[in-house]
Amino acid sequence: MMMLVEPVPAFRDNYIWVIGNNQYAAAVDPGDAGALQEHLEERKLELVAILCTHHHPDHVGGNLALSKKHDCPVYGPAREQIPAMTSPVSEGDVVRIEEIGASFVVMDIPGHTSGHIAYLGEGALFCGDTLFGCGCGRVFEGTMEEMHASLSRLAALPEETRVYAAHEYTLLNLRFALEVEPENRILAARREKEERIAGLGMPTLPSTIGLEKGTNPFLRCEDPGVIRMAEMHCGKTTSGPAEVFSVLRRWRNEF
């Protein structure tokens, strides 16, 4: 049975990613139990695992109700308090979900939160609030240096890796990216395509690592044009890619 990945919209702009086949499903970051349960019942799927990337309520709010109803394991970052967590995981651990024939390696990617993790496998990356379509998450608990290092790790993954971010922020992020790189032709083409997709009411995700490397300013902190714009914005010479990232992130916070 082929593994499928479907987005379940939740709240204003969250996606709960449902990984499964025609019988079983695992859910990534189920903040809204009701939205996910409705999807499971509509598809006649049995929930066999919950995978959490970090502790924010819009990612874990459905854990208690769902795990109780379905009696399924809850995986989450070992360094964070995750509701109903049965299986704490960290860097290098492997999550095997036999019912859907899938395995995922855990990556520690701190920055957005101090214990944030991602799940990598089957050609897919479930990265929570670390990497977004054409953007990245805010740095709440970690440091700018940690977030830059985490994004650099993700950028080193195979370019065909599909990126399943947890929020539909792509169009907003594209506006900022074009401020940073107004002459980036790949970026301009992406905006046209993503606006067309969003206009049809469809998700702009998943992206790919290759597309992000060509268009996402937070993965392009070594590009001369990005460096120049960052230095123009902050009014001084930067000391390296991590500082360029820090300038871009603070700029985006104010954008």
The residues that are catalytic are: 54, 56, 58-59, 112, 129, 167
Q: Residue 207: CA atoms inside 13 Å, Cβ hemisphere, count?
A: 29
What is the Cα 255 distance to its own chain's centre? Answer: 21
Distance, in Å, from the CA atom of 171 to the CA atom of 53, rounded to the nearest integer, reads 23
The identity of residue 147, as a single letter, is M
**Pair 54, 115: CB distance under 8 Å:** yes
Residues in the chain: 255
Nearest to residue 194, comparing CAs of 171, 176, 175, 177? 171
Distance, in Å, from the CA atom of 249 to the CA atom of 252, rounded to the nearest integer, reads 5
> Which residues on adjacent β-strands are paired with residue 103?
96
